[in-house]
Structure 1
Amino acid sequence: MAAVLQSSLFDTGDVVEVGPLAPTRTHLSRGAWVDYQPAWLGGADVLFDALHSGVPWKAERREMYERVVDVPRLLKFYEEGEPLPHPALVTVREALCERYAGELGERFVTAGMCLYRDGRDSVAWHGDRIGRAKDLDTMVAILSVGSARSLMLRPRGGGSSIGFSLGHGDLVVMGGSCQRTWDHAIPKTSKPVGPRISIQFRPRGVR
């Protein structure tokens, strides 16, 4: 699997390091909020290389609009208790658990991963509403490594959207009612972009 990644000008280290966690919070409507911290992870390009070559990525097909189509990205889901593919992700998860324990009331225990190979890979508007998140407030923390892509959010049912650039160690945490009352997406782009890996940390029973 070939990958061409433009390294970040701000990420030149050979060691993966988790920096101080001090995100900026944006309050949305209906009890939703988003925390954002760019370049939280140092050595993000090193982590990208390790995950790109070391994760057993899978292509999936799903039924959409009454036909079976290819999912436009590669996937891997690490269940609760399943070893993560890099020790830095354990450190990341522990930092997130410590920071958000008071608000979340539980730990992040699973890690879903998506590999966006180029601008043609994407994810459509959706909320992580499978399981408890359908009825209860929860959190989803997303760490991004690789080339930057736009994460867009808009109120469920339509409305004005906001966006965050995610890549090169950036962190976004969607909390409160965000999964129930807002949708998010990674749109396709015709711009020349390299691959990006998204790591989504979730609590038990949320997908």
Structure 2
Amino acid sequence: MQSSLFDQADRRELGDGAWLEVRSGWLSQDGVADDTLFAELRDSIPWRSERRQMYDRVLDVPRLVSFHHLVDEPPPHPRLKQLRRRLNDAYAGELGEPFVTAGLCLYRDGSDSVAWHGDNVGRSRTEDTMVAIVGLGATRVFALRPRGGGPSLRLRHGHGDLLVMGGSCQRTWEHAIPKTTRAVGPRISIQFRPYDVR
């Protein structure tokens, strides 16, 4: 694991205009206890399963999902609005715009995952952007690799940690949550994005 590279909440330049920042324990740094947030989100979010075309078959997506426009609709939990405000205070100036959406994924166990991809639907296909991810629950590996090949990073994304991918990261790098055969508990990731980035 290479999470020790980021223990001081530093930003690491990845090349080609991409960067990654990890802030361990970010969620508890606002002085609000976060121990119950995982259970509250698990029980109150309107989770749904999805099916996607993969080559010649339609398969179940191996996680549950929920997507919310935090500006246009009431949040499904009040902490999402508070977290969005904190992120905007920290990053909106550099980003040039606020985070406006929250996408949530529930990984029920180690067999739930997300394959290699970049969040490059919408403007992020051609423009630099940021995606901020807050992890809750079990620690999972968050893997990154350059598009087209090269050395990869494998980070331990733990409960309350913030991970921000910025610059060209969604176009020049891919990320994934790999499956694991280890016994691992459930995890929720909350992905905050600006307008027209998925």
TM-score by length of 1: 0.87
SS at match of 2:15: coil
Pairwise CA distance, 1:85: 2.2
1:98 corresponds to: 89
Q: Deviations over 1:32-52 (max 9, x none)?
A: 001101111123331100000
2:75 corresponds to: 84
- Distance in 1 (alpha carbons) for counterparts of 2:85 and 2:38: 19
Kindly report structure 1 stretches of 4+ aligned residues shifted beyond 3 Å.
none
1:48 corresponds to: 38
Considering only aligned residues, what root-mean-square deviation do their CA atoms show, in Å? 1.1
Out of 30, 34, 46, the residue aligned to residue 16 of structure 2 is 30
Q: Deviations over 1:91-110 (max 9, x none)?
A: 11111111112210000000
Change (3 A) 1:177 1:168: same
SS at match of 1:33: strand
Matched AA of 1:169: G
Query: What are the ranges of 5 or more consecutive residues in structure 2 without an aligned counterpart?
Result: 1-7
Matched AA of 1:163: R
TM-score by length of 2: 0.91
Pairwise CA distance, 1:89: 1.8
2:160 corresponds to: 169
SS at match of 1:179: helix
Out of 31, 53, 69, the residue aligned to residue 63 of structure 1 is 53
1:6 corresponds to: none
1:149 corresponds to: 140
- Distance in 2 (alpha carbons) for counterparts of 1:65 and 1:85: 34
The percentage of counterpart residues that share the same residue type is: 60
Matched AA of 2:37: L
The reply on whether 1:134 has 2:125 as its aligned counterpart is: yes
- Preserved CA contact (<8 Å) 1:44 1:168: no
Pairwise CA distance, 1:26: 1.0
SS at match of 2:141: strand
Out of 125, 137, 144, the residue aligned to residue 116 of structure 2 is 125
